[in-house]
Amino acid sequence: MRLATIARRLLGAVVVAYVAACTALFFAQRTLLFPAPAPLPVRLGQGATRAVLDLGTATVPIFWQPVDGAPLVLFFHGNGGQLARSVATGRDAVAAGVGFAAVEYPGYGEATGEGPSEVGILAAARAGLAHLGTLGLPTPACMGHSLGTGVAVAMAAEGRCSALVLASAYTSIPDVAVLSYPLFPVHWLVRDPFDSLSRAGAVKVPALVGHGTRDPQIPLALGERLAAAIDGAKFVRVDRAHNDIVDRELWARVAGFLGGG
């Protein structure tokens, strides 16, 4: 067998294997992006109220706890979180003097509907904001952590928020995915891009972007790049890792920011 024939067959095998890997990654991506944990019951503390919103194809729970005379934050959790774990986050917010609300994503926690997607999550966010508007509460600031920053940016870009607060933010999901899958054309493969960078120019409200200097999952540079694209955004570096950035210290910063401090 000639060397050229062997080379062609090897190249063909490599191409077939690569295409198969791309196909597998395409179909598995939502499992990777939305690793929804086992559902936990939402146990609210005193002063908090909850409801269930009907999205037509799904139902999602929401809870809120206003603080008299204080700004309200609607919080969007990360991809490994759920509404039940946002309860403790809400307690820290209220302790800092900030009203707190959070809405679940379809396919997470006690929510119903098909598996998570960008379209479904943004629909839940809009429904949550609309519901809070019917309660006579102030227009909330939109705050997101990790995956949730893409949700918060989208809502702010649509003019639905009084302010924007981001923790561990990214420019887009493909920009994060390429770090783990550098050999694959992830910018073509990703179905739920959460392209915050393309939406940044439409954000016209005050913005605070916090990022951990020890974040191994979303590089600091991505948060800096997104903050630079949002007009007037304040960028804060904090000595935290990815999952411990939303703490009492951050809520104190948020309270000062929303109060004009």
Q: What confidence category does residue 15 fall into, taking pLDDT thresholds of 50, 70 and 90?
A: confident
Per residue in 206-251, pLDDT (tens digit) is 999 999 999 999 999 999 999 999 999 999 999 999 889 999 999 9
pTM, two decimals, is 0.94
Residue 261 is predicted with a pLDDT of: 47
Residue 228 is predicted with a pLDDT of: 98
pLDDT at 13 over 80: no
Could you tell me which residue, 261 or 77, shows the higher pLDDT?
77
pLDDT at 121 over 80: yes
pLDDT at 16 over 80: no
Q: What confidence category does residue 143 fall into, taking pLDDT thresholds of 50, 70 and 90?
A: very high
pLDDT at 141 over 90: yes
Task: Give the range among 100-114, 156-170, 178-192, 220-234 with minimum mean pLDDT.
Answer: 178-192
Q: What confidence category does residue 1 fall into, taking pLDDT thresholds of 50, 70 and 90?
A: low
Residue 23 is predicted with a pLDDT of: 82
DSSP codes joined into one string, the chain: --HHHHHHHHHHHHHHHHHHHHHHHHHHHHHHH--PPPP------TT-EEEEEE-SS-EEEEEEE--TTS-EEEEE--TT--HHHHHHHHHHHHHTT-EEEEEPPTTSTT--SSSP-HHHHHHHHHHHHHHHHHTTPPPPEEEEETHHHHHHHHHHHTT--S-EEEES--S-HHHHHHHH-TTS-HHHH-S----HHHHGGG--S-EEEEEETT-SSS-HHHHHHHHHHSTT-EEEEES--STT-SSHHHHHHHHHHHTT-
* pLDDT above 70 coverage of the chain, percent: 96
Residue 10 is predicted with a pLDDT of: 66
Domain 34-258 is classified in which CATH homologous superfamily?
Alpha/Beta hydrolase fold, catalytic domain (3.40.50.1820)
- Where are the domains positioned within the chain? 34-258
